[in-house]
């Protein structure tokens, strides 16, 4: 297949009014990635070296998304919505370059398996002129039927046009299609609009190609491959299917998911073997987890790197730029952002570390915060190897705590601390015997007087 050139034309011009959103339908996300980009990636994985996105509604937003997620894709605008064949022809300039294979896909079918596309391309390589990807379902009501005779596909019949016998067919049209590149424009240009809606339907090329003696065949894929998204309920259904696939893939690669249905991955999550993930963990975009890590329950991780044998959570939040080195620990109710936690360092309880480095073997006590923001700019805190930061300390950046430095609990540190120094940054304690009792009596008397005055 690598010797055959391939163009994928991805139709993404629909308004998606049933999504009830100002955002173009195909830009709604599955696993943190716009659904149309899932389609692009599937086409690339099936060997489509070039992509043409046919856009309409929200064209500028679509271009921006394409530049970010699919920079190699060309965009073509369908000015008027006159049917699927008309939409494909919006990319005429790309099609006319003479590819061996043309894949026609839809931007709202994010679960398409590259294997289904490859199977269709293999049929083209063996001489087919048109290949339709279909699926079987025990309940075909509402779907167009694939009408076959002698192993050839002779028509795609919409249900309202089916005979009673044809309605019993369970092999249905998935919408996805592969066309021989040399025949594509000739077939598309012959599609007419003599129908109730006056539109140009891509499905008509099946009968057109058959009438010209070209081989027209169907391949079978699972229903999920053709699942189109039209509303938020279907979007959630597709998310669920994607997550189930990804969880299974992770577990088969050596990752333990204690309660798989409660763990959510993003499209680019990387997670190493022998990692254990406890229930209710969310992985946002840009997460890399090495081997042997343990991610405890209710942790939220995004844009972070976690090295081997680290320990995270429970109830930990790793924000973008968090970089945990080997055997580092970030414990319960801790937040780390744009900071390196070096090998063996521990950030145990109720702590915020932002714009910082925590040196190897350092220990950060409960309630510690790096005060990194003054309302306008961010500042850096550098904590040396083997440093000990006592509980409830505030490190006011920019500040450096030297190797082996020791910060007394409850300190506010505003100046750098040399290696192996002990720093106190708190008011001197005074103890006044009997003063507690005196205060309680005074407060009780005031409260009683206030209550009496209210009567």
One digit per residue, pLDDT tens: the chain, 455 residues? Answer: 668 999 999 999 887 789 999 899 999 999 999 999 999 999 999 999 999 999 987 888 888 888 888 888 999 999 888 999 999 999 999 999 999 999 999 999 999 999 999 999 999 999 999 999 999 999 999 899 999 998 899 999 888 889 999 999 999 999 999 999 999 999 999 999 988 788 999 999 999 999 999 999 999 999 998 899 999 999 999 999 999 999 999 999 999 999 999 999 999 999 999 999 999 999 999 999 999 999 999 999 999 999 999 999 999 999 999 999 999 999 999 999 999 999 999 999 999 999 999 999 999 999 999 999 999 999 999 999 999 999 999 999 999 999 999 999 999 999 999 999 999 998 888 888 999 899 899 999 999 999 899 87
Please name each of the domains of the chain with its CATH number: 6-226 (3.90.550.10), 241-423 (2.160.10.10)
Cβ–Cβ under 8 Å, residues 313 and 298: yes
Q: How far is CA 254 from CA 274, 283, 305, 325, in A?
A: 6, 17, 19, 21
- Indicate the pairing of strand 346-347 with strand 363-364: parallel
User: What is the per-residue pLDDT for 1?
Assistant: 62
How many Cα atoms are found within 13 Å in the side-chain-facing hemisphere of 180? 18
Write down the residue that tokens 């990804």 correspond to: 246
- The pair of structure tokens assigned to 393 is 């300390």
pLDDT at res. 45: 95
Q: Is residue 248 within 8 Å of 162, Cβ to Cβ?
A: no
Q: Would the pTM count as exceeding 0.75? A: yes
Q: How far, in Å, CA of 337 to CA of 302, rounded?
A: 10
Give pLDDT, residue 237. 96
Q: Can you count the helices (H) and strands (E) in the chain?
A: 9, 35
CA distances from 50 to 39, 70, 252 (A): 13, 10, 32
Contact criterion met (CB below 8 Å) for 202 and 83: yes
For residue 400, the surrounding DSSP H or E stretch is strand 399-401
Q: Phi, psi (5° rounding) for residue 184?
A: -60, -55
Residue whose C-alpha is closest to residue 405's, from 425, 420, 386: 420
- Residue 242's φ and ψ, nearest 5 degrees, are -60, -45
- d(C-alpha 447, C-alpha 254), whole Å: 64
Residue tagged active-site, from 57, 86, 267, 349: 349
Catalytic status, residue 349: yes
pLDDT attached to residue 246 = 98
Q: How far apart are the first and last CA of the chain?
A: 91
Radius of gyration of the chain (CA): 31
């Amino acid at each position: 297949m690598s010797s055959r050139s391939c163009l994928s034309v991805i139709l993404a011009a629909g308004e998606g009014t049933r999504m009830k959103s100002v955002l173009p339908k195909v830009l709604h996300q599955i696993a943190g990635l716009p659904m149309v980009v899932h389609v692009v990636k599937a086409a690339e994985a099936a060997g489509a070296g070039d992509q043409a996105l046919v856009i309409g509604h929200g064209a500028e937003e679509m271009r921006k998304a394409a530049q970010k997620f699919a920079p190699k894709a060309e965009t073509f605008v369908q000015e008027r919505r006159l049917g699927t064949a008309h939409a494909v022809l919006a990319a005429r300039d790309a099609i006319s370059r003479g590819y061996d294979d043309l894949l026609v896909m839809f931007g709202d079918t994010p679960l398409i398996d590259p294997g289904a596309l490859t199977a269709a391309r293999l049929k083209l390589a063996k001489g087919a002129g048109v290949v339709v990807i279909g699926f079987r379902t025990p309940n075909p009501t509402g779907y167009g039927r694939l009408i076959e005779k002698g192993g050839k596909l002779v028509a795609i019949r919409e249900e309202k046009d089916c005979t009673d016998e044809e309605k019993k067919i369970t092999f249905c049209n998935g919408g996805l299609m592969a066309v021989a590149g040399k025949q594509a424009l000739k077939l598309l240009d012959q599609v007419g609009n003599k129908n109730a809606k006056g539109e140009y339907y891509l499905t008509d090329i099946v009968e057109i190609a058959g009438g010209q003696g070209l081989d027209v065949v169907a391949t079978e894929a699972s229903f999920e491959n053709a699942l189109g998204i039209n509303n938020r309920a279907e979007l959630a259904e597709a998310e669920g299917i994607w997550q189930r696939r990804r969880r299974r893939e992770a577990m088969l690669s050596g990752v333990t998911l204690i309660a798989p249905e409660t763990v959510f991955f993003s499209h680019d999550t990387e997670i190493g073997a022998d990692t254990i993930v406890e229930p209710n963990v969310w992985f946002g975009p840009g997460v890399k987890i090495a081997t042997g890590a343990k991610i405890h329950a209710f942790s939220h991780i995004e844009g972070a790197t976690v090295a081997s044998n680290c320990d995270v959570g429970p109830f930990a939040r790793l924000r973008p730029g968090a970089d945990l080195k080997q055997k580092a620990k970030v414990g319960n109710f801790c937040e780390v952002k744009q900071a390196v936690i070096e090998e063996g360092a521990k950030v145990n309880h109720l702590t915020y570390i932002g714009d910082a480095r925590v040196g190897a073997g350092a220990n950060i006590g409960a309630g510690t915060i790096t005060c990194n923001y003054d309302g306008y700019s961010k500042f850096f805190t550098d904590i040396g190897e083997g440093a000990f930061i006592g509980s409830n300390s505030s490190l006011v950046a920019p500040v450096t705590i030297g190797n082996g430095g020791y910060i007394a609990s409850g300190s506010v540190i505003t100046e750098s601390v040399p290696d192996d120094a002990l720093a106190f940054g708190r008011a001197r304690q005074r103890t006044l015997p009997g003063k507690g009792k005196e205060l309680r009596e005074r407060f009780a008397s005031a409260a009683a007087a206030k209550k009496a005055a209210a009567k």
